[in-house]
């Protein structure tokens, strides 16, 4: 029993990953799952698909590795955050889950601010009311589906429905729970004041646990279905971003995780709760006991580069597209790119924000456009760093970068110069599922704490240092970039109505 299983229930698939006691990945399997958009702005998923995907992936990874269920010492869970899953008194799902990217709840967000006051809401939860969070989804069901709401007895997040199917119990880790907009951030538990203001019964919500805490054990029924062993401990785990941070070793103050995927995430571990006064950063509990984190989310990071390639240079591979951009001077000779192709979340929570190329002249060619896209995304990510500093975050000592965009040496150098910080890559690439598996190991004593698990398992594989002259140049260009959103905001909003 020297192996640990991490299960990641994401929007597009369920991954099962096994590591050994040295933190080495010995096997992984993913089962794709569908989601639906039955109406404009809606995004839903059948919880049965999470469970079906988990069963399939668990059985695949056991077969792939030649392990039996008895070889798995503990299981950690992670997955997409914020999704609303409603169960009745018999544990039956009442409606499709409303997902993190569902946008139907604008009126309910306004209602929450009206009931609490925006300042008080941020003071309690660390966050403003956004459509992605769980609380406004609860109010939407309360208002629009009264018959469903009347039958509700349990509220769960996506990965915690998988936990329920594995153990028969109801539980949530504190990191994922904090993303529901129902937490008292400082107390690391449900807020009685919020629950009273929103008229949500406290008994509907599961008990909260720290990331490595054991929350239950594999039931006999789940053992028969999955191939796991009955009685195997299941730990709290974490929401996908907190577990991803554990998976790359961002568990101490001063070390930042920068995920350069379709979206971009800047994640900072903190030893106390920090709150950005306007709620422009997310402030949640970490999966590490007694720690918190700040998080900025950029909606179109590497997604901007993919859009640019697919639209303006179709058929060209990314290496060929970016190679000429190395010879373009920093600042792209006055060409700026605003990467708000799908609206924005941080620092401007504005679904109507739009992208733009600004400063175009006849001197500019495709190489300038390519570099401007890389620089624009880097500037957008720097916005989150600046907000973290203004919230009181201590000096940033290291940035750990991961995601598809981080494969580009040019982009890594632009990021290091823009942020004026060392960028490093690490040996772990499996993200949230890997972090969940580490938390499982900590939960049963394979490592004494999360810090030790990360120090033992995660190693730096590369480093990119900032270039002083280029960093100074980017300071000037970034100052101009910051003026783009306020200058174009009204135009973007007007164009959305044309």
- Give the residue numbers annotated as catalytic, written as ranges: 240
Q: Are 4 and 437 in contact (CB under 8 A)?
A: yes
Kindly report the number of other CB atoms within 10 A of residue 438's CB atom: 32
Distance separating alpha carbons of residues 118 and 105, to the nearest angstrom: 16
SS (H, E, C) the chain: CCEEEEEEECCCEEEEEEEECCCCEEEEEEEECCCECCCCCCCEECHHHHHHHHHHHHHHHHHHHCCCECCEEEEEEEECCCCEEEECCCCCECCCEECCCCCCCHHHHHHHHHHHCHHHHHHHHCCCCCCCCHHHHHHHHHHHCHHHHHHCCEEECHHHHHHHHHHCCCEEEHHHHHCCCCEECCCCEECHHHHHHHCCCHHHCCEEECCCCEEEECCHHHHHHHCECCCCEEECCEEHHHHHHHHCCCCCCCEEEEEECCCEEEEEEECCCCCCCCCCCEEEECCCCCCEEEEEEECCCHHHHHHHHHHHCCCCCHHHHHHHHHHCCCCHHHCEEECCECEECCCCCECCCCCEEECCCCCCCHHHHHHHHHHHHHHHHHHHHHHHHHCCCCCCCEEEEECHHHHCHHHHHHHHHHHCCCEEEECCCCCHHHHHHHHHHHHCCCCCCHHHHHHHHCCEEEEECCCHHHHHHHHHHHHHHCCHHHHHHHHHHHHHHC
């Amino acid at each position: 029993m020297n192996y640990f299983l991490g299960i990641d229930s994401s929007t597009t698939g369920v991954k099962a990953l096994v590591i050994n006691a040295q933190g080495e990945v010995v096997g992984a399997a993913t089962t794709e799952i569908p989601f639906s958009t039955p109406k404009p702005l809606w995004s839903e998923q059948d919880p049965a698909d999470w469970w079906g995907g988990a069963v399939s992936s668990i059985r695949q990874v056991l077969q792939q590795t030649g392990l039996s269920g008895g070889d798995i010492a503990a299981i950690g869970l992670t997955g997409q955050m914020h999704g609303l899953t409603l169960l009745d008194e018999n544990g039956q799902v009442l409606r499709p889950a409303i997902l993190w990217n569902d946008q139907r709840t604008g009126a309910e967000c306004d209602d929450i601010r009206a009931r609490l006051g925006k300042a008080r809401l941020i003071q309690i939860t660390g966050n403003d009311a956004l459509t992605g969070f769980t609380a406004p989804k609860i109010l939407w069901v309360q208002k629009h589906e009264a018959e469903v709401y009347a039958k509700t007895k349990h509220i769960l997040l996506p990965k915690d429905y998988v936990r329920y199917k594995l153990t028969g119990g109801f539980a949530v880790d504190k990191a994922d729970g904090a993303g529901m907009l129902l937490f008292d951030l400082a107390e690391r538990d449900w807020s009685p004041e919020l629950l009273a203001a929103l008229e949500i019964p406290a008994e509907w919500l599961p008990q909260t646990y720290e990331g490595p805490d054991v929350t239950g054990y594999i039931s006999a029924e789940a053992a028969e279905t999955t191939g796991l062993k009955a009685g195997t401990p299941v730990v709290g785990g974490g929401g996908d971003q907190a577990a991803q941070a554990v998976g790359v070793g961002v568990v101490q103050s001063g070390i930042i995780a920068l995920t350069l995927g379709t979206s971009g995430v800047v994640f900072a571990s903190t030893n106390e709760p920090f709150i950005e006064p306007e709620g422009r950063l997310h402030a949640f509990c970490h999966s590490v006991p007694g720690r918190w984190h700040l998080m900025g989310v950029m909606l179109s990071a590497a997604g901007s580069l993919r859009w640019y390639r697919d639209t303006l240079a179709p058929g060209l591979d990314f290496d060929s597209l970016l190679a000429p951009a190395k010879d373009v001077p920093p600042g792209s000779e006055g060409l700026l790119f605003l990467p708000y192709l799908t609206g924005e979340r941080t620092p401007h929570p504005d679904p109507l924000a739009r992208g733009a190329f600004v400063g175009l002249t006849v001197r500019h060619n495709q190489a300038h456009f390519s570099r401007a896209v890389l620089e624009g995304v880097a500037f957008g990510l720097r916005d989150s760093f600046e907000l973290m500093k203004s919230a009181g975050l201590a000096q940033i000592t290291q940035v750990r970068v991961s995601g598809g965009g981080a494969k580009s040496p040019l982009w890594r150098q632009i990021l290091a110069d823009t942020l004026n910080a060392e960028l490093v890559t690490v040996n772990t690439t499996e993200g949230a599922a890997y972090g969940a598996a580490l938390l499982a190991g900590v939960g049963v004593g394979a490592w004494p704490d999360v810090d030790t698990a990360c120090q033992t398992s995660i190693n730096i594989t590369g480093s990119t240092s900032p270039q002083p002259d280029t960093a100074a140049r980017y300071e000037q260009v970034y100052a101009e970039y910051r003026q783009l959103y306020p200058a174009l905001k009204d135009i973007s909003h007007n164009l959305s109505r044309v």
